[in-house]
Amino acid sequence: MIAEAGLAALWLAAALAFLQLGLVWFGLTTDKPELLASVRPVAVAQGVLTALSFALLVTLFLRSDMSVALVATNSHSAKPWLYKFAGTWGNHEGSMLLWVMVMGIAGMAVALFERALRRDTHMATLGAQAMISLGFYAFLLFSSNPFARVNPAPPDGQGLNPLLQDPGLAFHPPTLYLGYVGLSVAFSFAVGALLTRNVDAVFARAMRPWILAAWILLTLGITAGSYWAYYELGWGGWWFWDPVENASLMPWLAATALLHSVTVLATRDALRAWTIMLAVVAFSMSMVGTFLVRSGILTSVHAFAVDPERGTFILGLLALYIGGALALFGWRIGTVREGAQFELVSRETMLVVNNLLLSVILGLVLIGTLYPLMTEAFGHKVSVGPPYFDRIAGPVALALVIAMAAGPLTRWRKDQARAVAGRLLVPAIVLLLAFAVVSVLAWGRIGVLPFLGLVIAAGVAVGSVAPLWKRNLRRTPLFTYGMVIAHLGCAVSLAGMAADSAFTVEKLVAARPGGVIETAGWKVRFDAITPIAGDNWTALQGDMTASRGSGSPIDIHPQARFFTAPPTNTTEAALLTRWDGQLYVVLGQEADDGRWQVRIWWKPFVTLIWLGGMMIALGGTLSLLGRERRGWLQKLRRRSAVAAA
Amino acid sequence: MRTLIALILMLFAAPVLAQSALPPAPYADRQLDDPRLEAKARDLMMTIRCLTCQSQSIADSNASMAGDMRSQIRERIAAGEDPEAIRSWLIERYGDWVSYEPTASPILWPLWAAPVILLALGFWLMRGRIRRRKASS
């Protein structure tokens, strides 16, 4: 009954999306305000129905209802409840329903909270949102029905991929999807603005918070995903340039560029066409990513079910939406004037440089990700991996980070090159000092990119805080703090990446219980192996203690786990976090002679990578609050005035 | 004669012996003693694809085939072979696909040209946005 209700809610939501599109279309073309008046309630109802449908699927998973095919193939009654819950989106159909729900809720939010946008643009935006939702409803209902029954119901399910059985599954996919799909709002805004010929500074100010919100969530989702991969895979890597990671990085790069160009549009009413283009590109990248992951042309832990029919379906949607948006862009962009030109030395130019470099990185990641597919079509299988991306995108990213430090120190409209250089003096001195220090410590022993990374991170960290210099800190607006913290976060993250790749110490040994392993100033004593059991796994656990210098020993317990459904081995690394890095201990397999494979890494300052990511998201949040607070305060005041009257 | 037959039989039995009794990959998870050679081997392993995994290098994979390849690489490095020679040997055996480092094969030229083309295109587009000195005065 629950499954049927869920399916019905989904069909109803799809019907409402169709209605919403029709209402907007006829309302705008025939100028009937009474039709438009019902658009917002319909959008809200659609959002509520998708949420209901999703909640019903979650219920089915929590109850382990094995008569539902999706639950039977992806869940197991012995799983802890958290993984039954999070397992809802640990599969193809469930994650697509999550996608559709986020899209529905985003549309609902635009209907409920958007007040600054001109009315016809607002309506056209909701129409565009309904239009893209429709395609994904169709995808879900016709080729990926999550509520399909199986008869007879199997006695128990086949279980969830054990790599996914981790608290990370409860956090990473929903946050990432909120950001990924949240970008659909920017896409709809762009389409709405093109349709109603309304691209200006007011429009940009209305669109900015939506971009910012999606971007914050995307940042958090990527950061969480990276940390999850780092501790789960058991080899200490935190970014693999896996096509699926690239699929999440590309929308982030586009959204970051968009965030900066929309600020130019909001402040100076320039870069109109470019901003609209980026808004289209950002969500297009989300869709391209989904296509790459779900079509099965790439294999990955994220490609749950490989099915060419689904791939073709998504490819069709891609062609329809991206092609449609680009056609609309080409048709209407002639009517959008680009606005004023910029002075060479100005904040505007710096932001254009930011956009240029971000777009180049985006282009490189896109080309590098798709290239193996293209050569395979010519019968030549190649791999494009970390060596290419690091070497090619790395230097561009370093240049971008330097521009990031200089940008906020340059004035809007017109500035003097000498004045900018003067403001950059202190960061430049710090950069030179860092160069000297790192040279003394590690000249010739570390790679060029990590070396430059460390040096530039130091200079840019100081440069990022420089905008607060000589300012009244209590009167500095919140969004300026937001920018400073986000930029500082980039420097912090860069420092972590560089330190990790430059100074990581690796130790692989075969050890007997009772032995002591020494590496990088740490002493790891291997006491014993104990068998333990969890809900649906058994494990051999290494009982070890780690101590550094004269410090007291700390118990650590790396595990080699064996899951029964489906039968899989995984490793649970033991992590010991210190202010200056992380000790990463993995228990491998037993050798024939009774010794155990133990892998130990000391990773100096590696945690800065994710700390930086969180700072970037925090900066975005402060920025959002700072920009939006005024509106909320006014609304509150108005409301209390109404209440008093 | 009997000894000869026994010897021939043993020769045929050798592969079976190798499968069961000999440790298959001594250096799969054992570092080389010389840290410089180990670093060399490690750098190479990071750029070799694990053929049975999903987008992982052999340096961070649990697959047994990755272990065998790690062992091969460490042994060859220890024997004084050049990393690039080992890469060519692997490519010859498994195809271009095994190397994450794109080779100089002509089909990959556009990949190396991409950054230059993109940057040039970007600057050309940007030029139109920036007012020239003369125009502003």
pLDDT digits (tens, 9 = 90+) for A497-556: 999 999 999 888 888 888 899 888 899 999 989 999 888 888 999 999 999 988 888 999
What does the alpha-carbon distance between residue B1 and residue A596 come to, in Å, rounded to a whole number?
46
How confident is the model at residue A378, as a pLDDT? 81
The DSSP annotation for A592-609 comes to TTS-EEEEEEEEETTTHH
pLDDT digits (tens, 9 = 90+) for A362-404: 999 999 998 888 888 787 888 888 889 999 999 999 999 999 9
What does the alpha-carbon distance between residue A134 and residue B112 come to, in Å, rounded to a whole number?
40
Candidate from A343-347, A547-551, B13-17, B46-50 with smallest mean pLDDT: B13-17
* Distance from the A82 Cα atom to the nearest Cα atom in chain B, whole angstroms: 27
> A247 vs B106, which has greater pLDDT?
A247
How confident is the model at residue A307, as a pLDDT? 65
Q: Give the mean pLDDT of A239-250.
A: 90
pLDDT at B11 over 90: no
What does the alpha-carbon distance between residue A117 and residue A198 come to, in Å, rounded to a whole number?
10
Q: List the single residue in B with minimal CA-CA distance to A237.
A: B60
The residue length of chain B stands at 137
Candidate from A278-282, A417-421, A451-455 with smallest mean pLDDT: A417-421
User: Residues A570, A575, A576, CA angle at the centre, nearest 5°?
Assistant: 165
pLDDT digits (tens, 9 = 90+) for A10-41: 999 999 999 999 999 999 999 888 889 999 99
* Distance from the B32 Cα atom to the nearest Cα atom in chain A, whole angstroms: 10
What does the alpha-carbon distance between residue A247 and residue A126 come to, in Å, rounded to a whole number?
26
How confident is the model at residue A344, as a pLDDT? 86
Which of B:39-78 have CB within 8 Å of A? 42, 46-47, 49, 54-57, 59-62
pLDDT digits (tens, 9 = 90+) for B54-70: 778 888 887 888 888 89
CB contact under 8 A, B131 and A237: no
CB contact under 8 A, B55 and A243: yes
pLDDT at B87 over 50: yes
Max avg pLDDT among A209-223, A472-486, A619-633: A209-223
Q: How big is the A-B interface in CB pairs under 8 Å?
A: 131
Token couple for A317: 């949607």
Token couple for A330: 């080409």
The helix-helix angle for A243-268 and A201-233 (nearest 10°) equals 160
What does the alpha-carbon distance between residue A428 and residue A38 come to, in Å, rounded to a whole number?
58
Give the predicted TM-score (pTM) of the model.
0.91
Token couple for A531: 């068998």
How confident is the model at residue B13, as a pLDDT? 45
DSSP H or E run through A585: strand A581-590
A383, A410, A448, A597: best to mutate for the B interface, most B CBs within 10 A: A383
pLDDT digits (tens, 9 = 90+) for A248-270: 999 999 999 999 999 999 998 88
Q: Which of A521, A514, A500 is nearest to A598 (CA)?
A: A514
Report chain A's C-alpha Rg in angstroms: 26
Q: What ipTM was assigned to the predicted interfaces of this complex?
A: 0.79
The model's confidence at residue B131, banded by pLDDT at 50, 70 and 90, is low
pLDDT at A457 over 70: yes
pLDDT at A282 over 60: yes
The Cβ of residue A59 has, within 10 Å, a number of other Cβ atoms equal to 16
